[in-house]
Chain A
Amino acid sequence: MSATRHEPRARARGRLAALLAPPLLWLVLAYLGSLAVLLLSAFWTTDPFTSDVVHTWTTDNFRDILTTPVYRTVALRTLGIAVAVTLLDALLALPMAFFMARVAAGRLRRALLVAVLTPLWAGYLVKAYAWRVMLGEHGIVNAVLAPLGLHGPGYGTAAVVLVLAYLWLPYMILPVHAALERLPAHQLEASADLGAGTLRTLRSVVAPAVRPALLAGSVFTFSLSLGDYLTVQIVGGRTQLLGNVIASQVTLDLPLAAALSAVPVALVVCYLAAVRRAGALDSL
């Protein structure tokens, strides 16, 4: 913009190249390069006796994944959990973000934002671990539910959904809160002046502003859940997700692990492409 306006084109172009070269070289070499190596190794195979990678071109790994029912079950279960976590977080985040951005005022608003932000720093493992202790046989969940004659979910799929939703909730609240805060007050007033009730205003003014932010938040909740494998190991009991299957195959059969990891990558890339159309990446 301003820098280019006063300068000759060639100089601007040189400056652009100098700015862009280091980050692009890093990302292309270290990141895309690694992904390419991974993708390539998905077409190799493993010696069943030595577990060494054999460099012969084959599509067997992908055929195995598509034809083995266990992989399909695990993939669908992972997808289901990611969708459940995303919906749960959206449901929790909307009222909280709305209260923080449009009802609370002044110091309270700022304090609430800090309160939501602080746990982000407490660490992933710390929080998963906290839930492991809470959901344990003698943990607080069972202790509280016991007088009611109930029993907590214990370790399993329900616990995984719960803990993942807990872990990613701030990632959903923050973009939704930012979108609601940016919404100009005069738009809401104009809507009321034109005779719209609260529900109509919510639907016609607030919802369009919040939608990209919800999608931006869902990028985090969805893709973080898709690839997670530690929470599952900590509170999942015997539940297996794609992440676990990949992790357990890395040392045994790297080509198979590589082919398996194409599944979450494909899902996330499709999701990102769909979400980018809705303009959500700009509100990340």
Chain B
Amino acid sequence: MHLTRTARIVLGCLTAAGLALIYLPLLLVLLNSVNADPSFAWPPRALTGEWWSRALHSAGARDALWTSLRAGLGATAVALVLGSLAAFAVHRHRFFGRQTVSFLIVLPIALPGIVTGIALNAAFRTVLAPLGIGFGLFTVVVGHATFCVVIVFNNVAARLRRIAPSLAEASADLGARPWQTLRYVTFPALRPALFAGALLAFALSFDEVVVTTFTAGAGTKTLPIWIYENLARPHQAPVVDVLAALLIALSVIPVYAAQRLSSDTAGGRL
């Protein structure tokens, strides 16, 4: 297929325009975090560092960040174990209902978050409440892990498909026991996929609001919940903007890490 020069230029311009559209709102958030006008009137008349210092001293925001980190780590740990097990099962074995298993794993992110949220809410209230377990960090981790499994599963399964079966066979022919093959052959080949899966799962959990709203209860506030609650308060707008700016700035780190550590072009699969 031969694309004319004009076609290439038009495609390039469309891509540049698309990227500009993607980044413009994010750049504005960064700029507004130093906009002296607390209602962010455009264009900004003066710049200030006050919002940043106010945000750094906000106890609510710090607590929320800590809660988010713990919830993300918990959910990622559960998802890593369950997602890898499922990927091995589906990849290494042919069995009745194999398609159904893949379908079941995808379902939690395919169904609307609000449905997952109120379903878990109703179930926790009927099952966990009589056991004396209230809403809190534990229920948030359970909720998040449920939809993070698919991320790890997708990454590990994609990697397993690409590892040549002859590698494991060679290892067995050379006298390695199955767990030795797993330890010295399969695991090193899987490591980038595990890492990318964990990173994406953590990000998904760190960013989640809807399921969290219905599984957190009153006392547990993750960072997105805190931001959402403060969106409606005009005097908190600058602090919210600083947090948003911080999250945008921090988002460069995982992408960079995924690019460095994973040979997958996209640094992971969703």
B66, CB-defined interface residue at 8 Å? no
B129, CB-defined interface residue at 8 Å? no
Nearest A-chain residue to B112, judged by Cβ: A227
Complexed CA–CA distance, A190 and B113 (Å): 45
Q: With A22-B85, A103-B11, A129-B231 in contact, is A246–B114 under 8 Å at CB?
A: yes
Question: A1-48: which residues lie under 8 A (CB-CB) from chain B?
Answer: 1-4, 6, 12, 15-16, 19-20, 22-24, 26-28, 30-35, 37-38, 41
Are A31 and B266 in contact, CB atoms less than 8 angstroms apart?
Answer: no
B218, CB-defined interface residue at 8 Å? no
Name the interface size band of chain A.
35 or more
B86 to chain A, nearest CB (A): 4
B65 to chain A, nearest CB (A): 13
Partner of A1, one of B95, B116, B145, B165: B165
A207 to chain B, nearest CB (A): 12
A278 to chain B, nearest CB (A): 14
A121, CB-defined interface residue at 8 Å? yes
Partner of A226, one of B8, B81, B112: B112
Complexed CA–CA distance, A38 and B244 (Å): 34
B14, CB-defined interface residue at 8 Å? yes
Partner of A3, one of B81, B126, B168: B168
Are B25 and A38 in contact, CB atoms less than 8 angstroms apart?
Answer: no
Are B146 and A30 in contact, CB atoms less than 8 angstroms apart?
Answer: yes
CB contacts (< 8 Å) of A213 on chain B: these are none
Are A129 and B82 in contact, CB atoms less than 8 angstroms apart?
Answer: no
Are B28 and A134 in contact, CB atoms less than 8 angstroms apart?
Answer: yes
16 contacts between A and B (CB under 8 A): A2-B168, A16-B92, A100-B15, A110-B259, A113-B265, A121-B251, A129-B244, A140-B42, A169-B18, A219-B110, A224-B112, A226-B112, A234-B231, A261-B115, A265-B115, A272-B106
